[in-house]
Amino acid sequence: MIDTSRYRIKPGGKVNVSGLDTDGESVVDKKKSDSKDETKRLAKKLDDLQERLYAEHKHKLLIILQAMDTAGKDGVIRRIFEGVNPAGVRVAHFREPSIEEKEHGFLWRAYAQIPSDGEITIFNRSHYEGVLVERVHNLVPKTVWEKRYGEINEFEKLLTDQNVTILKFFLNIDPEEQKRRIEERLEDPTKEWKFSEEDLNERKYWNDYMRAYEDALNKTSTESAPWYAVPSNHRWLRDLIVSTVVVETLESFNMKYPILPAKLKASKIPSVTFPETTKSK
């Protein structure tokens, strides 16, 4: 099993985003084909653990995905969670906030989407847009977004006090890989619908985004709500790392299927008889 601790951002540490691995150099010699068995094992394990989570109805898991465009937020959701029971997994998308959401503050819409007992909720983007997009594009003054790191930490501490386990993943690609993936969209008729002029505009702010991500990772990775900087140039490795972290976290809950009370277990299931049909003369 892959060692995921190397990707976890230590609280109180100092991370330089430009120095973070995007290729997974420490394990890149592990060929994609060699990971198939491990990926299948994790998928089967995740299916079982999610079923236990839903049945036991005690724990809540919040997964936060943040990344530059094309890094694979949708891909992670589709490939990792495709085999689980959809009744216990929900995806919340954080696009441009509505007028109502803006009026309630940047954390309001996130709180409205937190998981309930027995549920896994995945944030595709999240409240971190308040210190990423809104910072980079000067949508709020510096005096506002600077305070948000502390507000985020307090918010996430509130969630963990409410028995929500939080996992945060920064899917990290380099600009060359993003360029390749954007060109891939333009060359593939089944993917060109994903391309927009906004993809090109946002690339101009790459360095600004990296500085914003660096502050977010350094200031909001805590013991109870850690960030993982996941090398994501290779899709198979990205998915393997995220799957491993999620499975290991669910395993740490030590979940058990609820035991049915003896009285109910001894229930006799009545037979159902159907009335005889009257033959027409």
pLDDT digit string (tens) for 63-109? 999 999 999 999 999 999 988 988 899 999 998 777 787 778 899 99
Measured CA to CA, the distance from residue 12 to residue 36 in angstroms comes to 36
Q: Is the pLDDT of residue 40 over 60?
A: yes
Per-residue confidence (pLDDT) for residue 66, from 0 to 100: 98
What is the distance between the alpha carbons of residues 59 and 162, in angstroms, rounded to a whole number? 10
Domain boundaries, given as residue ranges, for the chain: 4-265
Q: What is the mean pLDDT of residues 13-33?
A: 79
Token representation of residue 148? 């948000």
Model pTM score = 0.91
The reported pLDDT for the residue numbered 24 is 84
Which of 26-35, 114-123, 167-176, 203-212 is the least confident region? 26-35
User: What pLDDT score was predicted for residue 278?
Assistant: 58
CB 33 within 8 A of CB 237: no
Cα Rg for the chain, rounded, in angstroms? 22
Cα 18 to the center of its chain, rounded Å: 22
State the fold for domain 4-265.
Answer: Rossmann fold (3.40.50)
Kindly report, residue by residue over 207-264, the tens digit of the pLDDT.
999 999 999 999 999 999 999 999 999 999 999 999 999 999 999 999 999 887 887 8
CB 4 within 8 A of CB 248: yes
pLDDT for residue 279 is more than 60: no
DSSP 172-238: E--HHHHHHHHHHHHH-TTTGGG--HHHHHHHTTHHHHHHHHHHHHHHH--SSS-EEEEE-SSHHHH
Q: Which of 119, 17, 18 is nearest to 63 (CA)?
A: 119
Q: What is the pLDDT of residue 30?
A: 60
